[in-house]
Amino acid sequence: MDERLLMMIDDDANDAVLDGEMLNSDEQGTGLVIPDAVLPSTLYLLPAPKRPFFPAQIQPILLDMGVWESTLQRVGNMQDKVMGLIYCGDSDPRELNPADLPLIGCAVRVHQAHQEDGKVQILVQGLKRFRIRRWLSDKPPYMVEVDYPDNIGERDTDEVKAYALAVIKAIKELLAINPLYSEELKQYLSRFSPNEPSLLSDFAAAITTAKGDELQDILETIPLLRRMEKVLQLLNREREVAELQGRISEQVNEKISESQRQFFLREQLKVIQRELGISKDDRTADAEEFLDNLKGKQLPEAAQRRIDDEIDKLEVLESGSPEYAVTRNYLDWATQLPWGVYSEDKLDLAHARKVLEAHHSGLEDVKDRILEFLAVGKFKGSVAGSIVLLVGPPGVGKTSIGRSIADALGREFYRFSLGGMRDEAEIKGHRRTYIGAMPGKLIQALKEVQTANPVIMLDEIDKVGASYQGDPASAMLEVLDPEQNSEFLDHYLDLRFDLSKVLFVCTANQLDSIPGPLLDRMEVIRLAGYLGEEKLAIAKKHLWPRLLKRNGIDRKRLAINAAALRHVIDGYAREAGVRGLEKQLGRLVRKAAVRLLEDDSLSLKITPEQVEAWLGRPIFKRETPQRGVGIVTGLAWTAMGGATLGVECARIHTLNRGFQLSGQLGDVMKESANIAYGYVMSNLEAFGADERFFNESMVHLHVPEGATPKDGPSAGVTMATALLSLALNKAPKAGYAMTGELTLTGQVLPVGGIREKVIAAKRVGIKKLILPEDNRRDYEELPDYVRKGMTVNFAAHYDHVRALLF
């Protein structure tokens, strides 16, 4: 639409307004409605998408310029500027379907038009209802042939007057509840007589918030009485909604007013109490609270001086300033630390042994180390701070032993995990200059336990990471050094705190990933895996009763015999620890719970047959060591405990010389294989084998379970024995397993993990072992129950191994 059309519509509209349009009022009063003779019989149509338009309305309408430009141009060129508005509901106004549109609409006159950003806003005045008789154009610009139905019913009857009075009364009630309606009523009264029941009904319907379909129903209701009845129903419903809205607003305002009243009263009370000297302001109250926190504590002189300075600063700061909040938070941490507060140690060895025995079965060597530690403390009169590192596979009870140490000593216990920690601020805190700064985990632990000599467990110390934010392992050097931790400095507090009385208990699955300087500061206690007998005792004394209690099952209704427990241990939970065993027993308890609920009188005793029925076929089968030429059983250490490791050797062909390895061997293990190959090949004559054997043979050495990566320096003796067996074409003696590293001169070097390897051999029924001579001391330190039934041969040179096996 161009500017010319806009001016044309505006000029003609102004003329119409000057003429008053309160014209042609007959004796019945038609207000602004133009007589039928004046209204055209054909109309251009525009959609009214959300609500229908009523004859009593004057309201702007916003339209899309691109779609309706041609329609508005034609209306602008007309003398009377009259067109039709038709309700289209939820349909897209740009895609009208004549079949979906109602027959009744409202004829309107365009007064003003304003264009902006591709939209046009027109001010229209409702004139009269029309009925569509025929569509002249079903595409934009839409055009229809219409007639104008007259009101059915006399306007001066008593019934109509009664309804009119009821409508006026309902409108007045709305005005009292919601003043927003008053402006629309003033506009109506300025243009119409209140004695026009038809227009009054249309106006009353137009000011409601009813849905479009309900309003269209009123527009289509031609009989006056019926229309006024429907309008009155809408007004009553509108009044109810407005009353509900008013009640909700009153409730909200009451709550706000009450909150404001309480706030003002509290502020007045503070002022009155302060004037009377019976209350203090926030700064004085905070300062006194911090001084109370320090009563009974022995602070170093530097710490006392620093805290006093901070309290003095707090008293001159405004309580609403950011600096006040930072200082108050700092003092809250500094004054709640246990400065000089120590708990009294229980140095009763009998009590300590009782606690350890109650919580753990087996691990006698670990218990003895702990009791030795306590015995030294009894002679000194107190247990000094120490750093203990418990190393062992998962599930062997490292974390629970730390808690038992705290119970035996009567100390507070605090545990946090270092696994995955990458920020050194977790240990030493953030500096106060940072937003949201806070102390490190150690200071947090001391604040929580409120003693300066707790047992602090640092779990998973072998899994500490490093990143651009720092290296937590390096930050731990100060914490775990007895020469330094008496003056531990946290970045947040910036005060020296004595950690020398803290007993640190660290746990790890392996030592390889712990930095050397950190490992040097700790006393290492190794926890090997459990034997079957130990697992059986643990299951009877601890796991099974705990599972029954946790699941709320009476032990009289559910039991398990020793044979079933042993079957679970051997067939489903053969790992070094007991965590997997507890999971399998938990499965049995849950399946039994279902049976017990189905029959209240039933009592169950789980047997080995029931175990297989509920848990399925055993995961582990009894290992039978392979025997034959070139086949030898070795022993290996893993993070999960000890394991047997088979080594196989075969002659592939005699076309050329070569040596091939398989089984996902690591670099160290490949070197061991090459050393064993070189040693055996260089000594074939001394061993009584054909010295040309390897010169004419392609030899393949394989370590089974190729999907499992393997590495370590303890398989040299095993590989050399397999190669020698192949060269001699003679199987080694049955029933032996071995471990040890080999040199090119035949020396058998010591290896680690002797306890785990002995337990692994015992677990699969191997009673004869070959160990390095230098590991004799390690073997003799093993508990008697581990060595019981074992025959061990110690070899310093490979000749001892050869003489024993061949």
3-state secondary structure 546-581: HHHHHCCCCCCCEEECHHHHHHHHHHHCCCCCCHHH
Residue whose tokens read 């004394």: 541
Looking at the predicted structure, is the pLDDT value of residue 31 above 50? no
Residues 71 and 108: beta-carbon distance below 8 Å: no
In single-letter form, the type of residue at position 377 comes to G
Q: Count CB-CB contacts under 10 A for residue 685.
A: 9
In single-letter form, the type of residue at position 39 comes to L
The alpha carbon of residue 24 and the mean position of all alpha carbons in its chain are separated, in whole angstroms, by 76
Q: Spell out the residues 6+ positions from residue 530 whose beta carbon is closer than 8 angstroms to its own.
A: 362, 396, 538, 576, 577, 578, 759
Spatial distance between the Cα atoms of 140 and 64, rounded to a whole number of angstroms: 13
Active-site residue set:
714, 757
Q: Which two tokens stand for residue 474?
A: 């390096």
pLDDT in tens, 268-277: 777 776 676 6
Q: Give the CA angle between residues 595, 596, 601 to the nearest 5°.
A: 125
Looking at the predicted structure, is the pLDDT value of residue 625 above 80? no
Q: Spell out the residues 6+ positions from residue 48 whose beta carbon is closer than 8 angstroms to its own.
A: 61, 85, 86, 87, 88, 105, 106
pLDDT in tens, 331-361: 988 888 999 888 888 878 888 888 888 777 7
The pLDDT score that the predictor gives to residue 741 is: 93
In angstroms, the Cα distances linking 804 to 305, 547, 732, 742, 797 are: 75, 49, 9, 17, 12
Q: Which two tokens stand for residue 110?
A: 């365009």
Q: Is the pTM of this model over 0.85?
A: no
Q: Spell out the residues 6+ positions from residue 619 whose beta carbon is closer than 8 angstroms to its own.
A: 571, 572, 574
The pLDDT score that the predictor gives to residue 27 is: 33
pLDDT in tens, 649-696: 999 888 888 899 888 888 888 899 999 999 999 888 888 888 888 888
Q: Spell out the residues 6+ positions from residue 437 whose beta carbon is closer than 8 angstroms to its own.
A: 429, 430, 431, 492
The pLDDT score that the predictor gives to residue 783 is: 77
**Helix residue spans in 221-363 (DSSP H):** 224-276, 282-293, 301-316, 322-336, 349-359
Looking at the predicted structure, is the pLDDT value of residue 745 above 70? yes
Spatial distance between the Cα atoms of 182 and 194, rounded to a whole number of angstroms: 15
Spatial distance between the Cα atoms of 233 and 167, rounded to a whole number of angstroms: 10
pLDDT in tens, 234-269: 888 888 888 888 788 777 777 777 778 788 877 777
Residues 781 and 804: beta-carbon distance below 8 Å: no
Residues 733-747, mean pLDDT to the nearest whole number: 91
The rounded mean pLDDT for the chain is: 82
The pLDDT score that the predictor gives to residue 381 is: 72
Residues 604-609, mean pLDDT to the nearest whole number: 89
Residues 562 and 552: beta-carbon distance below 8 Å: no
Higher pLDDT, 548 or 357: 548
Nearest C-alpha neighbor of 478 from the set 437, 527, 429: 429
Looking at the predicted structure, is the pLDDT value of residue 151 above 80? no
pLDDT in tens, 42-100: 999 888 878 899 887 888 888 887 778 888 888 888 888 899 999 988 777 777 788 88
Spatial distance between the Cα atoms of 712 and 146, rounded to a whole number of angstroms: 99
Q: Which of 152-156, 398-402, 521-525 has the lowest mean pLDDT?
A: 152-156
Spatial distance between the Cα atoms of 83 and 40, rounded to a whole number of angstroms: 9
- Hey, CA dihedral for 74, 79, 81, 86, is it positive or negative? negative
